[in-house]
Amino acid sequence: MMSLGSKFAEIQAGIDALRALGRNPFDIRFEKILSPTEALLDGRPVLLFGTNNYLGLTFDAACIAESARALHEAGTGTTGSRIANGTYSDHALLERRIAQFYDKRAAMIFTTGYQANLGLISTLAGREDHLLIDADCHASIYDASRLGAAEVIRFRHNDPDDLARRLRRLEGRPGDRIVVTEGIYSMLGDTAPLREIAAVKRELGACLIVDEAHSLGILGERGRGLCEAAGVEADVDFVVGTFSKSLGAIGGFAASDLPGFELLRVVCRPFMFTASLPPAVVASVNASLERIARDPSLGRRVLENARRLYFGLTAAGFQVGPEPNPIVAVKMPDRETAVRFWNRLIEEGLYVNLALPPATPASLSLIRSSVSAAHEEAQIDRAVSIMTAVGHELHVLERRASAAALPAT
Amino acid sequence: MTYNGDTIEAEIVKMLTGRIPAGVQVTGETRIVDGLGLDSVAVLDFIMDLEDHFDISIPLDRIAQVQTVTELSGAIGTLVSARG
């Protein structure tokens, strides 16, 4: 009989090492979600700062009402894929709304954000093509690159010169060049230098895909993400995103002006061979998308809140990511301290994400928090104060202070 | 500069110095994923330095086929020759 214990012995050892220091971070069980910013964990209330619920729309009354309407009208599920079981009117409405929101000719929705990347990228990346992905891209982009038939090359994170070098190395070889970047990167909250990347794309010729999973509804005047904020929307061939973060539900999408985009519906396997989104989810996304298109104030609020947390933690002496965005990552001196820190935060009533190598760039151990428009200032201040107290208790801040006091070499 | 299998392997070993934990001995037979004391992303980042050094891009599927330092050196050699 197959032994899962020996097949995954190393993984088990890793989990055991984490357990020796406290909770299993892969198995956090909330008894109750009270609001976008609070939950019950182990019978005690915790502040939620690790949800990616950027606009706090999971409990929005209009989204819930629309979702309930669709649930009663169209049932609990579609019980199959769009190509087999057909498209419901709300699926079609959502695709039109996304295309409209991005001012693109067409859009396609997927059952998850993961599948949107998996489907779009693996389908575009054919034999003889070349897929160039930013080194810090999300796992869904790496997995897409394994599913596709193209040759896959990593370029240095946020380094347009490195991308240009790698595109030049391909000169004379047949096939399309497909470049993939993200808007805001999920671990450190840094943004891509999209203007420079778009310039490289124009100069050397490539198709550009930008994943706005963490920037939809947050960046840009109309909330379209980094492409809008950087003024490069015309250079971006495909925008990909998710409904599971700022839109408060689940699902993913791709939008494009490229003629023939509709053909993807019959060649893209992660679209074709999985059940489509259930009516209640589609309806709540329709409502939340309508809300952010009408009211950009939520995006402004989450950025204000992000700055409050980011600069609060910086002032306390923590080393954070390079930009004040809704993902605020605090660098820990080592893995064990990160695990202890994360456990202590939960004990003090603060839930954040523990991010450890190899899931992080540059082998960093991170305490990763995400900020919501629904956070009140007092909650953010409480989060800073809990993190500061734990930072002193575990000597993270003292170590930082003494490192900063060392003369520059 | 012209390279052959031995010089490429020597360059790899030289470039690993200071990047891997003290006490890890590297030979041609050392496995790059679990023999260097580096996590999988750190291995990929090291390979980027090799790509810069040799002015090549090593596709991910090619990296996935490589297990030892000698095999990595062979893959680099093939790409360097193809570059001309």
Digit-coded pLDDT (tens) for A296-308 = 899 999 999 999 9
| Alpha-helix runs per DSSP H in A125-189 | 139-147, 160-169
Tell me the C-alpha distance between A220 and A223, whole Å: 5
Distance between first and last Cα of chain B: 11
CA distance A132 to A208: 10
Task: Report whether A203 contacts A161 (CB < 8 A).
Answer: no
pLDDT interval class at A407 (50, 70, 90): low
Select from A134, A141, A154 the residue whose CB has the most chain B CBs within 10 Å, as the one to mutate to test that interface.
A154
Cβ contacts (< 8 Å) between B83 and chain A: which residues? 169
Which chain B residue's Cα is nearest to A361? Answer: B41
Tokens matching residue A237? 């061939």
Taking contacts as CB-CB distances below 8 angstroms, the residues of chain B near A166 are 57
Token representation of residue A328: 């605020």
Is residue A362 less than 8 Å (CB to CB) from chain B? yes
| CB contact set of A57 (below 8 Å; sequence gap of 6+) | A36, A63, A246, A247, A248, A288, A291, A298
For residue A402, count other CB atoms closer than 10 A to its CB.
10
Report residue A405's pLDDT band, with 50, 70 and 90 as the boundaries.
Answer: low
Residues A175, A191: Cα–Cα separation, whole Å: 29
Q: Which two tokens stand for residue B23?
A: 């006490």
Please write the tens of the pLDDT for every residue from A338-383: 999 999 999 999 999 999 998 999 889 999 999 999 999 999 999 9
CA A405 – CA B37 distance, rounded (Å): 31
Cα Rg of chain B (Å, integer): 12
Cis peptide before A193 (omega within 30 of 0): no
Tell me which of B20, B60, B78 to substitute to probe the interface with A (most A C-beta atoms closer than 10 Å): B60
**Distance between CA atoms of A98 and A254, rounded to whole angstroms?**
9
The model's confidence at residue A282, banded by pLDDT at 50, 70 and 90, is very high
| The model's pTM | 0.95
Q: What is the pLDDT of residues B2-30, one digit of tens each?
A: 777 788 999 999 898 888 888 888 888 89
Q: Which CATH class is domain A59-294?
A: alpha beta
- Strands (DSSP E) along A95-176, which ranges? 106-110, 130-134, 151-155
- SS3 call for B79: helix
Question: Of A313, A314, A316, A291, nearest to A373 (Cα)?
Answer: A291
Tell me if A363 and B39 make a contact (CB, 8 A cut-off): yes
Domain range summary for chain A, segments of one domain joined by +: 19-48+296-405, 59-294
Cα distance from B60 to chain A (closest Cα, Å)?
Answer: 5
- Please give the average per-residue pLDDT across A206-235, as a whole number: 97
**Domain A19-48+296-405 CATH class label:** alpha beta
B39 CB neighbours in chain A (<8 A) are 357-358, 363
Please report, for chain B, the start and end positions of each structural domain, with discontinuous segments joined by +: 5-83
CA dihedral A27, A30, A31, A35 (to 10 degrees): -170
Q: How close B48 gets to chain A, by Cα (Å)?
A: 8
CA atoms of A65 and A288, how far apart (whole Å): 11
The ipTM of this complex is 0.91
Q: Is the pLDDT of residue A409 over 50?
A: no
Q: How far apart are CA A329 and CA A370, in angstroms?
A: 8
Helix-then-strand count for chain B, H and E: 4, 0
Nearest Cβ partner for B59 among A151, A156, A361: A151
- Are B5 and B81 in contact, with CB atoms under 8 Å apart? no
* Type of residue found at A72: H
Q: What are phi and psi of B64, to 5 degrees?
A: -65, -25
Residue A210's CB is within 10 A of a number of other CB atoms, namely: 28
Query: Which single residue is written with the structure tokens 């970047």?
Result: A181
B5-83 topology per CATH: 1.10.1200
Mean of the pLDDT values across residues A157-162? 98
Residue type, A150: A
CB contact under 8 A, B45 and A151: no
Please give the order of strands across the beta sheet that includes A44-48: A30-35, A38-41, A44-48, A350-351
Three-state SS string over A71-118 comes to HHHHCCCCCCCHHHHCCCHHHHHHHHHHHHHHCCCEEEEECCHHHHHH
Chain A residues touching residue B48 (CB < 8 angstroms): 135, 154, 156
**CA distances to A70, A246, A279 from A286, in Å:** 11, 13, 10
Q: How far apart are CA B82 and CA B80, in angstroms?
A: 5
pLDDT tens readout for residues A8-55: 998 899 999 999 999 999 999 999 999 999 999 999 999 999 999 999
Q: Which residues of B sit within 8 Å Cβ distance of A?
A: 39-42, 44-45, 48, 55-61, 83
